Amino acid sequence: KFNITVAGGGSTFTPGIILMLLDHLEDFPIDTIKLYDNDGERQQTIADACEILLNERTPGVKLLASTDPKTAFENVDFVMAHIRVGKYAMREQDEKIPLKHGVVGQETCGPGGLSYGMRSITGVLEIVDYMEKYSPEAWMLNYSNPAAIVAEATRKLRPNSKILNICDMPIGIEELMATNIGLESRKEMVVKYYGLNHFGWWTDIRDKSGKDLMPSIIKHVEKFGYSTDTGSEMEQEASWNDTFKKARDVQALDKDTLPNTYLKYYFFPDYVVEHSNKDYTRANEVMAGREKFVFGECKSIIEKGTAEGTELTIDEHASYIVDLARAIAFNTKERMLMIVENKGAISNFEPTAMVEIPCLVGSEGPEPLSVGEIPRFQKSLMEQQVGVEKLTVEAYEEQSYQKLWQALTLSRTVPSASVAKDILDDLIEANKGYWPEL
Ligand code: G6P
């Protein structure tokens, strides 16, 4: 049986992930789930509710919540990290500051991603260091955002650590693709994909018998994007549905491939800004929606002393985390999209770039599959974006204003160096106490 630490215990995603873990105990037996957060009060609400839930549903599994690193990180096998440094209040700043300057306001793409990245690096490295100090054999399954910058930071600043960087976005999109062509599950598809995190393309999708599924998925995307209008919970939210629909326009740029929907921020930043409300962004939606709901449900479980009738649901979408942990624990060699150092997998691309590509995951970690050469259009876009990500990490390490200004200037979402500078100066002000001093 395994011991797990969930880093970011106070996250709105924690109850759904715990329920998902409890639903998979047969494949992945758990002794203890520990929650760690530096905001003890926020975490306690989640922990108290989850404890009631757990005692009612799976009394064998133990739960413990702590703000003390030693208690939280000793004697664990896996650390599942989904931390959010600065919480939703800072996400709101990441989104609203660029919008004030007429630039895309998003938590992982463009200036918002850089801003969040500069905060996250410190938090993620701290978790890695606790894990290595108290459980040197453990693996960190990291899906903390912004994943691209965090992955580059761990590659550069903790090169020998046991960290697996993974993102749920391709998984979410694959679920939509599968639904759209009438499959039961994305697991019926074998995919080829390459790119950077939140910046990639599917080039080949087949069923297990080898039948090419690309033509039917492309046909759907050309009409409706990835949208089905009936599907997932995410899709029922207007902002996500817009994104899934916009995949149609993104796909038109390269009709042989299927895009990650976040490419819309780089290809159509003007459209995105026009369709954004600079006074009410995704952070506001999430605070008024998911955050309020999850904490409301938790408080009601605590008051009633029972989780009976709770509307908290299993986050089945997050079961890729169990697949990943199982791959390591049982050497399953499952084929998964991971964010790994390129090292020649994309043969005509920078070897030290952190790329998102299929890997076979076993107890030694991910074994990247060869991608080969990629076309000029994608390669050029990726080179520019890798530059943004690497410069951000260098700026963090060297505490360099100049490099962060360069990173912002290089982003396709930012129209000029002077706009980049104005945004940067506002971000520095907003991130006081979170960023290293530049
Ligand atoms: C997707 C992305 C994540 C991102 C999340 C935001 O899952 O892959 O990187 O954090 O969306 O979702 P939210 O509902 O908080 O806007």
Using the atom order of ligand 1, give the atom closest to the CA of residue 282. 16
Q: What is the mean pLDDT of the chain?
A: 96
* 271 has catalytic annotation: no
* 37 has catalytic annotation: no
Q: Is the pLDDT of residue 234 over 80?
A: no
Which residue(s) pair with 193 in the sheet? 202
> Tens digits of per-residue pLDDT, 139-188?
999 999 999 999 999 999 999 999 999 999 999 999 999 999 999 999 99
CA of 385 to the centre of ligand 1 (A): 19
Task: Give every CB contact of residue 132 below 8 A, 6+ residues apart in sequence.
Answer: 161
Pocket of ligand 1 contains residue 286 by CB under 6 Å: yes
Q: Is the pLDDT of residue 245 over 80?
A: yes
Dihedrals φ, ψ of 293, to 5°? -65, -50
CA of 145 to the centre of ligand 1 (A): 9
ipTM: 0.97
Predicted confidence at residue 232, as pLDDT, reads 63
Pocket of ligand 1 contains residue 108 by CB under 6 Å: yes
Which of the four pLDDT bands, split at 50, 70 and 90, describes residue 359?
A: very high
CB 297 within 8 A of CB 50: no
Q: Give the span between the Cα atoms of 284 and 149, in whole angstroms.
A: 24
Using the atom order of ligand 1, give the atom closest to the CA of residue 168. 8
Predicted confidence at residue 344, as pLDDT, reads 98
Task: Give every CB contact of residue 4 below 8 A, 6+ residues apart in sequence.
Answer: 21, 30, 32, 33, 34, 76, 77, 78, 79, 80, 325
Q: Which of 150-154, 217-221, 232-236, 329-333 has the lowest mean pLDDT?
A: 232-236
**What is the value of pTM for the model shown?**
0.97
Dihedrals φ, ψ of 262, to 5°? -70, -10
Predicted confidence at residue 241, as pLDDT, reads 87
CB 114 within 8 A of CB 108: no
Percent of residues, the chain, with pLDDT higher than 90: 95
> Tens digits of per-residue pLDDT, 86-135?
999 999 999 999 999 999 999 999 999 999 999 999 999 999 999 999 99
Q: Is the pLDDT of residue 229 over 80?
A: no
Predicted confidence at residue 230, as pLDDT, reads 61
Pocket of ligand 1 contains residue 282 by CB under 6 Å: yes
Predicted confidence at residue 273, as pLDDT, reads 98
Using the atom order of ligand 1, give the atom closest to the CA of residue 147. 9
Predicted confidence at residue 316, as pLDDT, reads 86
Which of the four pLDDT bands, split at 50, 70 and 90, describes residue 231?
A: low
Which of the four pLDDT bands, split at 50, 70 and 90, describes residue 228?
A: confident
Which residue's alpha carbon is at the smallest distance from atom 5 of ligand 1? 169
Predicted confidence at residue 239, as pLDDT, reads 86
Of 23, 48, 129, 168, the catalytic one is 168
- CB-count exposure of residue 210 (10 Å: 0-12, 13-18, 19+): exposed
In the sheet that holds 78-81, the strands lie side by side as 62-66, 30-36, 2-7, 78-81, 139-142, 163-165, 334-341, 354-362, 365-368
CA of 14 to the centre of ligand 1 (A): 14
Which residue(s) pair with 62 in the sheet? 32
How far, rounded to the nearest angstrom, does the alpha carbon of residue 351 sit from its chain's CA centroid? 23
CB 77 within 8 A of CB 330: no
Predicted confidence at residue 317, as pLDDT, reads 86
Which residue's alpha carbon is at the smallest distance from atom 3 of ligand 1? 169
Pocket of ligand 1 contains residue 149 by CB under 6 Å: no
Does a cis peptide bond (omega within 30 degrees of 0) precede residue 146?
yes
> Tens digits of per-residue pLDDT, 326-341?
999 999 999 999 999 9
